[in-house]
Each structure stands twice: as C-alpha cells, then as structure tokens.
C-alpha cells in the first residue's frame, strides 16, 4: 500500500475517534451538565493531538521498512524536535 | 449556553472550510471571533485555535492524501525545517524584539503577496527544472486535477532554500504564536515552484505537526478549556472535511484570489503590530 493511503487511513481513524468523543462530550455537557462530560471532550482533544505525532512515527516506520534511510532520518529529526519542544515547554 | 456553543460551532465550521482550502490553520478567523465576539481571554482563544489547527490539518489531509495532492516526501523534508525552527523560536522568544520581528515578517509577507499577485492568472507553474537535491530525494509529484481533468506531473526546485524558509516560518510560529501556513504556501508555490493546489494541500498536511508541539504546551499549562475548545475543534474538523472536497473542484486561480487578500491583510496586521505603540 502506498504511504499516502497508509497515512490517510491513520488520520481518518484519528479524526473519527476524536469527533465521536467530542460530540458525546459536548452533547452530554449541554443536555445533562454532568461533571464527567468535559472529560470526554478532553479525551477527544488528546486523541486529536496525538494524531499528527503518530503520523510522523508511522511515516518513519514505512520509510524504514522500504529501506529509505534518508527519509527515516528526516522523520527521526522531526520526532526529536517535537520531543525537545514538549520538554522545553514543560520547563518554561 | 446552548446558543453560544452553537454560534462558536458555526464560526468554527467556516474557519475549517477556509483553512482547508487555503492551507492555513484558520486561526486568523478563530482568535478574533472568540476574543471579540464572545469576550474569551486571549490565552484561551490562542490555545483553542492552536488545537483547531491540528483539526484542520487532520480533517483535510485525509482527502488530500487520497487524491495525492499532499506531497508526503516534500512534507517530510520541509518538516525538518519547521520543527527545528519552532524549537529555536520557543528557545529565543524572550530575547528578541517582538516589534522588529513583526515588521520583518510583515514585509516578507507583503513581498510574497506582491509576487503571488503577479502570478495570479497562472493555473500551473509551467516548465520547472528540478535541482540536484530534489532529484536525489525524489520530491517530484503528480496528481489528477479534477478541474483540468488531466494528470499534472510536476518538478520541485530550490529545495535547500525552501528548507531554510521553512526553518524561519517555524521560528515565526514559535515566536509569535501564529500558524505558519501563510508562510508555507508561498514558499512552496513561489520558491519551490510547486503547483498551487499541491502547495496548499502539502501546507495543510504539515501544519498539524507544527501545531502539535505548541498544543502540548498549552495542554500542560492548563490553557485548553474543553467547553470552548471542544465545539471549536469539532466545527473545524467538519468544516475541513467539506473544504477539502470543495478545494479539489476549484480552479487554482479562484483559490489564489482568496489567498492574495488574506496574505496582504496578514502582512498589514503584522506591520501594524510592529509600529503601533
């Protein structure tokens, strides 16, 4: 399967799960106002947030499997920068 | 409460449609709408907007990847620039004069806007000679254009210069808390000479990664309010799905006509922030 279709499938799954969790959370907040409702929204946002990071990771794995070392390295550089940015943000 | 949520939701759908078509995050609509119309604090608005950039990117990229409009190899090459740039931007943010930055990036955008205006009638870039790096990395691409009803094969040139510009666009995103799509599209369209549709689709694909590192920080700081961010993100996600379907059926010249005023507006706003007291 070409890399475009693998990544499209990953992003579709991520956005569907996020959308369902968000819709449940928003509906529950508006209709019942229950205290647990916003947690569904937060869970949906976390899934959405993880999707692009997973996308770089999966792209890296696909390039690795195709023995495309240069592009595997590019994905690693992006992942390391993301990780450093997150750690930096927590400190600052 | 229900009315407000519904209003936010509808504005977010509009932002998602526009963001998907133009290859931007839609923050240019979300942040002013939340702060001016609903009186939401700027920190909460920026956090919601940053998370919504990921929604635009993810929602639109599904369609663009299936249509082969997003160039995955170009995106991975350039993401090295945006990711390390965003990191540098966050590191040096406290040490630089914000005014000078806004002025500098404003002038740069105005120049891109002017160049894009000159090329406004061009549907495709024409003959492009690939550089050595582009050939070595296999950056060339092709897609089926629904409007022209033809397969478009294209080459990519000035790959190193493109990477350098992406580094600075990433740094701008980190420094000023903006989505950098407005820099990414001209860099691919004018500098690397990619077709405009491939440029906006690839920018769309990339902005999710740039935004993710920023969004994690807002999450940790507790700036992400679920009751505001939730409706924004769901709306943007749905809007992006619709926008991506619309974009493949639009003429390049039409998309350019929407992009040019926006780039000029952003340039003027940035220069204004640079000189206003």
Return the pLDDT at A91: 53
pLDDT digits (tens, 9 = 90+) for A24-56: 999 998 888 888 888 999 999 999 999 999 999
Return the pLDDT at B190: 92
**Are A25 and B213 a contacting pair at CB < 8 A?**
no
Return the pLDDT at B270: 85
Return the pLDDT at B100: 84
Return the pLDDT at B177: 62
CB within 8 Å of chain A, chain B residues 153-192: none
Regarding pTM above 0.90, the answer is yes
Q: Give which of A2, A7, A22 is closest to B63, Cα–Cα.
A: A7
- Is the torsion defined by CA of A82, A85, A87, A89 positive or negative? negative
Asked if A8 contacts A60 with a C-beta cutoff of 8 angstroms, the reply is no
State the Cα–Cα distance between residues B230 and B232, nearest whole angstrom: 5
Output the DSSP codes for B68-125: T-S-HHHHHHHHHHHHHHHHHHHHHGGGS-HHHHHHHHHHHHHHHHHHHHHTTT-SS-
State the Cα–Cα distance between residues B202 and B185, nearest whole angstrom: 8
**Are B77 and A74 a contacting pair at CB < 8 A?**
yes
Size of interface A-B (CB pairs under 8 A): 152
Which run of H or of E encompasses B144? strand B141-145
Nearest chain B alpha carbon to A10: B62
Asked if the C-beta of B88 comes within 8 angstroms of chain A's C-beta atoms, the answer is no
Burial of residue A69 (number of CB atoms within 10 Å: 0-12, 13-18, 19+): exposed
State the Cα–Cα distance between residues B268 and B34, nearest whole angstrom: 21
Write out the two tokens for B77.
Answer: 């090459």
**Are B65 and A88 a contacting pair at CB < 8 A?**
no
ipTM of the complex: 0.92
Q: Is the pLDDT of residue A92 over 70?
A: no
Helix (H, G, I), strand (E, B) or coil at B145: strand
State the Cα–Cα distance between residues B120 and B97, nearest whole angstrom: 34
**Are A86 and B216 a contacting pair at CB < 8 A?**
yes
Asked if the C-beta of B135 comes within 8 angstroms of chain A's C-beta atoms, the answer is no
In three-state form (DSSP H/G/I as H, E/B as E, the rest C), the secondary structure along chain A is CCHHHHHHHHHHHHHHHHHHHHHHHHHHHHHCCCCCHHHHHHHHHHHHHHHHHHHHHHHHHHHHHCCCHHHHHHHHHHHHHHHHHHHHHHHC
Return the pLDDT at A90: 62
Q: What are phi and psi of B153, to 5 degrees?
A: -100, 135
Which residue ranges in chain B fall short of pLDDT 70? 1, 177-179
CB within 8 Å of chain B, chain A residues 12-71: 12, 14-15, 18-19, 22-23, 25-26, 29-30, 38-39, 41-42, 44-46, 48-49, 51-53, 55-56, 59, 63, 70-71
State the Cα–Cα distance between residues B62 and A12, nearest whole angstrom: 6
Asked if A6 contacts A62 with a C-beta cutoff of 8 angstroms, the reply is yes
Listed in order, strand segments (DSSP E) in A1-92 are: none
Nearest chain B alpha carbon to A84: B87
Return the pLDDT at B1: 67
- What is the tally of structural domains in chain B? 1
CA B31 from chain center: how many Å? 15
State the Cα–Cα distance between residues B53 and B19, nearest whole angstrom: 8
**Are A41 and B66 a contacting pair at CB < 8 A?**
no
Residue of A23, A30, A51 lying closest to B58 (CB–CB): A51
Question: Mean pLDDT for chain A?
Answer: 92
Asked if the C-beta of B245 comes within 8 angstroms of chain A's C-beta atoms, the answer is no
Our CA angle for B50, B53, B54, nearest 5°, is: 105
Return the pLDDT at B216: 85
> Domain of B154?
1-275
Burial of residue A83 (number of CB atoms within 10 Å: 0-12, 13-18, 19+): middle
Asked if A49 contacts A24 with a C-beta cutoff of 8 angstroms, the reply is no
**Are A74 and B79 a contacting pair at CB < 8 A?**
yes
First to last CA, chain B: 37
């Amino acid at each position: 399967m070409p890399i475009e279709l693998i990544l499209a499938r990953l992003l579709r799954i991520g956005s569907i799960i996020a959308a369902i969790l968000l819709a449940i959370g928003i509906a529950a907040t508006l209709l019942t106002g229950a205290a647990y409702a916003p947690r569904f929204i937060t869970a949906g946002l976390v899934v959405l947030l993880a999707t692009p990071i997973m996308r770089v990771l999966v792209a890296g794995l696909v390039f690795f499997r195709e023995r495309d070392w240069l592009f595997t390295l590019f994905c690693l550089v992006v992942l390391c920068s993301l990780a450093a940015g997150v750690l930096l943000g927590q400190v600052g | 409460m229900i009315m407000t949520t519904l209003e936010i939701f509808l504005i977010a759908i509009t932002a998602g449609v526009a963001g998907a078509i133009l290859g931007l995050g839609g923050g240019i609509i979300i942040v002013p709408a939340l702060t001016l119309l609903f009186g939401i604090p700027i920190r909460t608005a920026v956090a919601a907007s940053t998370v919504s950039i990921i929604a635009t990117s993810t929602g639109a990229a599904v369609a663009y990847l299936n249509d082969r409009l997003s160039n995955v190899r170009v995106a991975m090459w350039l993401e090295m620039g945006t990711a390390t740039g965003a990191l540098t931007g966050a590191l040096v943010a406290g040490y630089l004069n914000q005014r000078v930055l806004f002025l500098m990036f404003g002038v740069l955008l105005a120049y891109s806007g002017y160049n894009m205006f000159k090329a406004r009638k061009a549907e495709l870039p024409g003959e492009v000679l690939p550089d050595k790096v582009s050939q070595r990395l296999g950056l060339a691409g092709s897609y089926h254009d629904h409007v022209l009803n033809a397969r478009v094969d294209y080459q990519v040139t000035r790959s190193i210069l493109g990477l350098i510009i992406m580094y600075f666009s990433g740094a701008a995103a980190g420094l000023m808390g903006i989505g950098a799509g407005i820099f990414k599209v001209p860099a691919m369209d004018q500098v690397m000479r990619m077709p405009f549709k491939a440029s906006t689709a690839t920018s769309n694909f990339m902005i999710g990664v740039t935004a993710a590192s920023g969004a994690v920080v807002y999450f940790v700081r507790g700036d992400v309010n679920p009751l505001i961010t939730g409706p924004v993100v769901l709306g943007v996600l749905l809007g992006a799905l619709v926008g991506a379907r619309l974009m493949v059926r639009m003429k390049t010249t039409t998309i350019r006509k929407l992009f040019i005023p926006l780039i000029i507006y952003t340039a003027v706003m940035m220069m204004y922030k640079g000189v206003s007291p």
